[in-house]
Amino acid sequence: MRIVRHLSEVAPGRIGARSSAKGVIDEGVAHFETPFNREIEATVSNIIMPMAMSTSIFGLTGCHADPSVRRYSESTYNFLCRVEGSYWDQCRDLIDQWLSHYPNKPRVGLISRMQSGDDKHFASAFWELYLHETYHRGEWIIEIEPQVPNATTRPDFLVSKDDVTYYVEARFLFEGGDDSEAARLNKVLDTINHIDSGPYFLCISILKIGSGTPPTGNMKKELESWCACLDPEVMRTGGDQLIHEWRCGDWDIVFRPIYGARQSGERTVVGYGYGYGSPDVDTRRLLAALEDKGSKYGNLPYPLMIAVDLSASFLPDDCAAQALFGTAADSCLTQRGYWGRQGQPEHRNTAGILVASGLAYHNVTEVVPTFWKNAYAARAIEPQPSWRVAHLDGNVVQYGEPRTALDRYFGLPNDWLVEYPFL
């Protein structure tokens, strides 16, 4: 078998964008499908590992030539493979550098998840990569997927430094329904992104995703007509409270205009979420995720920290407090939370919970994770310097800011990603 160390060896001059020659890993063998229907096999050690250490996982330099904004139906990986600009070069460089710090063998699986074209796999893999980099920067010894007694599943990491050792279990929580619902919604969002909304951006609340694809042409005309009737002077002085509800069949979407001197060609959608925004829903989602992760391993020889990234959501502190302690921080702790209630502690082996809201590859210097210390923990652990800290003081939660700024902690310049991504 011929060992191919670089895709340019297959067809010099014929390899275009990285998305046109994609690789998958199948039982220790790397398979590359090329645009001209040839398949090349090579051992993972000869093609995947050098790529992870010395070549970007997003393709060859010069292949990133499309400056257009991301389509909602486009995967994160495919977008990063084709998008042009120094902003995105810095994002790609960050991921490549952090991957180079990941141990060789498990790195193959992490790259495979990122290259799968599934955003859920990409996001959860990056969250694990972020956590690994956090401990790597702190000079911790990191074991990937360590064995635990009397369990068939494994936590993501076992971290050790000096006389401190504990497990880390990562969880990425996604909004919305199943993959088919997400695909239907993405098509609708792509249509909205190309409407003529004048100077207005649109913020969207998804009340219900329908069972079929709606007539997007009719929706486009209805929204353009509505935007054209808005008064710019009213919008500048608080008109963003106006809403337009669009219903078609079993679809139900609410639009809120935002005056921002939108330019022709700029994307229309500036943000979307599910429902009108219910803190109670986010509290229940977090609590359910903690219950699931915290009960997987039984009695562990070391403490456990559960690290949760909540997709694109912003989780208010009082929601996290309710999920953990049972009630809002400024009232008596009488209702049960993940850590039980006052006088009746539960999950004492879970020493802490790390919560991030919408952390992703492009905002690692902006989104500060919060470490929630378990006041009832059998064995305490200390937070990393880049984390915000929340701890219980009587019936009140107190907060402490990170000891180290995120850009300094990750070795990034203070002007990292300061330019506009689409020029």
The string of pLDDT tens digits covering residues 155-199 is: 999 999 999 999 999 999 876 656 778 888 888 988 898 888 888
C-alpha span between 152 and 158 (Å, rounded): 16
What does the mean pLDDT of the chain come to? 79
**Residue that the structure tokens 């929706």 belong to:** 219
364 and 291 inside one domain:
yes
303 and 155 inside one domain:
yes
pLDDT at residue 18 greater than cutoff 50:
no
**pLDDT score for 187:** 87
296 and 400 inside one domain:
yes
pLDDT bin (cut points 50, 70, 90) of residue 215 is confident
pLDDT bin (cut points 50, 70, 90) of residue 38 is very low
**SS3 label, residue 310:** coil
Strand partners, 169: 306
**pLDDT score for 336:** 75
269 and 283 inside one domain:
no
Highest mean pLDDT among 118-122, 175-179, 237-241, 271-275: 118-122
| Strand spans (E) along 295-417 | 304-309, 340-341, 344-345, 350-356, 370-373, 388-393, 396-400
Query: Is 308 a member of any domain?
Result: yes
Q: How many domains does the chain have?
A: 2
C-alpha span between 396 and 321 (Å, rounded): 10
More confident residue, 24 or 232: 232
pLDDT at residue 367 greater than cutoff 90:
yes
Strand partners, 166: 159
269 and 317 inside one domain:
no
**SS3 label, residue 193:** coil
**pLDDT score for 8:** 30
pLDDT at residue 31 greater than cutoff 70:
no
Per-position b or e across 348-380, b if 16+ CB within 10 A of its CB:
ebbbbbbbbbebbbbebbebebbbbbbbbbeee
Cβ-contact 282, 311 below 8 angstroms: no
C-alpha span between 34 and 36 (Å, rounded): 5
306 and 397 inside one domain:
yes
**Token output for 35:** 């645009």
Query: Is 163 a member of any domain?
Result: yes
Task: Give residue 280's Cα distance to chain centre.
Answer: 21
Cβ-contact 116, 77 below 8 angstroms: yes
Query: Is 227 a member of any domain?
Result: yes
**pLDDT score for 10:** 28
**pLDDT score for 110:** 97
By residue range, what is the domain housing residue 382? 142-172+279-409
pLDDT at residue 114 greater than cutoff 90:
yes
Average confidence (pLDDT) over 69-77: 90
| Of residues 159, 126, 129, the one with CA closest to residue 142 | 159
More confident residue, 121 or 330: 121
**Token output for 158:** 């076992």
pLDDT at residue 416 greater than cutoff 60:
yes
254 and 319 inside one domain:
no
Query: Is 245 a member of any domain?
Result: yes
| Number of other CB atoms surrounding residue 205 within 10 Å | 18
Average confidence (pLDDT) over 315-343: 70
351 and 393 inside one domain:
yes
pLDDT at residue 22 greater than cutoff 60:
no
pLDDT at residue 394 greater than cutoff 60:
yes
End residue of a domain, out of 274, 309, 339 = 274
End residue of a domain, out of 237, 254, 274 = 274
Q: Name all contacts of 272-275 with Cβ < 8 Å and 24+ positions apart.
A: 272/189, 272/203, 272/204, 272/205, 272/206, 273/175, 273/204, 273/205, 273/206, 273/312, 273/313, 274/175, 274/176, 274/205, 274/206, 275/205, 275/206, 275/207
End residue of a domain, out of 228, 257, 274 = 274
Q: Is 94 left (phi over 0), alpha (psi -120 to 50) or beta?
A: alpha
363 and 289 inside one domain:
yes
pLDDT bin (cut points 50, 70, 90) of residue 72 is confident
Query: Is 418 a member of any domain?
Result: no
Those residues whose C-beta lies under 8 Å from the C-beta of residue 18, and which sit 6 or more positions away, are 58, 59, 60, 63, 81, 82
Query: Is 20 a member of any domain?
Result: no
Query: Is 321 a member of any domain?
Result: yes
**pLDDT score for 293:** 76
Average confidence (pLDDT) over 328-332: 43
**pLDDT score for 401:** 96
Give the containing element (helix H, strand E) for 157.
strand 157-161
295 and 163 inside one domain:
yes
166 and 314 inside one domain:
yes
Query: Is 64 a member of any domain?
Result: no
More confident residue, 273 or 390: 390
More confident residue, 327 or 207: 207
381 and 336 inside one domain:
yes
Percent of the chain exceeding pLDDT 70 equals 78
Amino acid at 103: P
| Number of other CB atoms surrounding residue 287 within 10 Å | 19
